[in-house]
Amino acid sequence: MRLAAGACPSLTGEVVAKLEAQGVRGVRDLMLRDCEDLAREASVSYRVGGGTSGDVGFNDGWAASGKLHIGWELRSIRRVAITHHSVFAVSGRELLQEAICTTQVFSTGCKMLDKLLEGGLTTGEVMEVCGASGEGKTTLCLQLALHAALEQGLCVLFVDPVGGLNHLTMNPLVEALPHDSQVVDNALSRIKVTGASDIWEVFAALRIATQPFIPVRCGRLGKGGAQGGNLAKIKLVIIDSLASVMLPLITKEDSKQGLAILNQLAVRLKTVAKEHQVAVVVVNNAVQAGSGHNNLQHHTPKPKWMPTLGRFWRSVPHIRLYVKRVRGTDPPVIVNATSEDECLAPKSPLKLSVAVWKGTRIKTGKAVVTLPLASLRQSSSESSS
């Protein structure tokens, strides 16, 4: 933290310039230096007797009185710096009380997943959903967003760097909801979707979660196009997915800058979650490790799945979930697909095997989560009618 002129009456622009000339560029440097030695080296000017004797520099009068005035001036600056930047000790009881008053746990909409997470999503935490491509990570995140907005009235920020949020992924979930269309429409208005072509746009999108309130549309259009609305606070942030914007930065030859950005992103995510009491969910890919010769050498029956973004990211999420689609348990749904995209769309119902790979407050476990989805044939027929 740099010294700013005007923080106290003694800390003028001239004093800051003289301190910087002696290598004191921030609060930390000031705390490590002795006041009297620093005053002697910096020749800090002061006024004797409240300004009646004019400005007296160090070289003009380094007597006992001059030394006392200079030392007092720097000590007053130190006291102000300690007051503004020191960490005050708190008791464990105060920390527990603050956690109880500020932390909020809300359901995911899936009983088995709530049981696995010991209640559901928790504000102040960063949860990672990882898995291979096409295993249902985005569908699970959409389920979390819809349930939070529909059943609990929360405002959700959905950051979509890969552009995977479209009608093919949304319609099966929306059509399966047993609610009135107006209720669903109001819930969808509480889900704020923003794209991000690079990591800097992800940082910009996170600023939305730090705003005190954002406008939310409420109700149908009235006369003259007027529409009711209210203000809400973002309580759930979903980023799908981080690997698409981070891998190009950390896999190039000179990856030092990419790793620094990754560390900055980790700090930012945890800061947003903790200071603004937001539940953060990030989507990450998973890759196979230990295949080929390495697999035969260690006699492992299957290649091991590991989350991407490297070892520097492993300790960032508070909870890490591994998602894998359960195949072959339900009869196939026959759909008259008219395009390749419809063939790739999720079928009904969707069962996901969710395993806890890491949990700071929960135990490792595994559960099968069923997401109710409307088939493409049902969605198309209802939309045409």
| Residues sharing a CB contact under 8 Å with residue 309, sequence separation 6 or more, in sequence order | 242, 243, 246, 247, 250, 262, 284
What is the DSSP secondary-structure string of 203-221?
HHHHHHHTSS-EEEEEEEE
Q: Which of 71, 87, 88, 85 is nearest to 2 (CA)?
A: 85
**Per-residue model confidence as pLDDT tens for the chain (385 residues):** 677 777 777 777 888 888 888 888 777 788 777 777 777 787 764 433 333 333 434 344 443 444 445 555 777 777 777 777 666 667 888 777 877 777 889 899 888 999 999 989 999 999 999 988 888 888 899 999 999 998 888 999 999 887 777 777 787 788 888 888 888 888 888 899 998 888 999 999 999 998 888 877 665 544 443 444 677 889 999 998 888 888 888 877 767 888 888 999 999 999 999 888 999 999 998 887 654 434 334 444 455 778 888 788 888 999 999 998 887 644 444 344 455 444 444 455 788 889 998 888 888 888 888 887 765 444 344 444 3
Q: How far apart are CA 74 and CA 40, in angstroms?
A: 11
What is the DSSP secondary-structure string of 12-55?
-HHHHHHHHHTT--BHHHHHHS-HHHHHHHHT--EEGGGGTT-E
Which pLDDT score is estimated for 298?
A: 41
Question: What b/e string do you get for 315-331 counting C-beta neighbours within 10 Å, with b at 16 or more?
Answer: ebbbbbbbbbbeeeeee
Where are the chain's structural domains? 13-85, 92-384
Structure tokens at 280: 């953060």
Structure tokens at 268: 């930012």
User: What contacts 24+ positions apart, CB below 8 Å, involve 361-369?
Assistant: 361/118, 361/122, 361/318, 361/319, 362/116, 362/117, 362/118, 362/319, 365/116, 366/116, 367/112, 367/113, 367/115, 367/116, 368/112, 368/326, 369/110, 369/112, 369/113, 369/140
Which pLDDT score is estimated for 341?
A: 47
Which pLDDT score is estimated for 281?
A: 95
The angle that helices 199-209 and 256-275 make with each other, rounded to 10 degrees, is: 10
- Answer yes or no: are the C-beta atoms of 112 and 367 closer than 8 Å: yes
Class of CATH domain 92-384: alpha beta
What is the DSSP secondary-structure string of 178-209?
-S-HHHHHHHHHTEEEEE-SSHHHHHHHHHHH
131 φ/ψ sector (left φ>0, alpha ψ -120 to 50, else beta): left
Structure tokens at 139: 């569908």
Structure tokens at 371: 């997401």
Q: How far apart are CA 2 and CA 284, in angstroms?
A: 37
Amino acid identity of residue 220, one-letter, is R
Which pLDDT score is estimated for 328?
A: 63
pTM of the model: 0.67
Q: Which of 213, 111, 195 is nearest to 155 (CA)?
A: 213
Backbone angles phi, psi at 45, to 5 degrees: -80, 155
Q: How far apart are CA 122 and CA 113, in angstroms?
A: 13
Please report how many Cα atoms fall inside a 13 Å half-sphere around the Cα of residue 142, on the Cβ side: 24
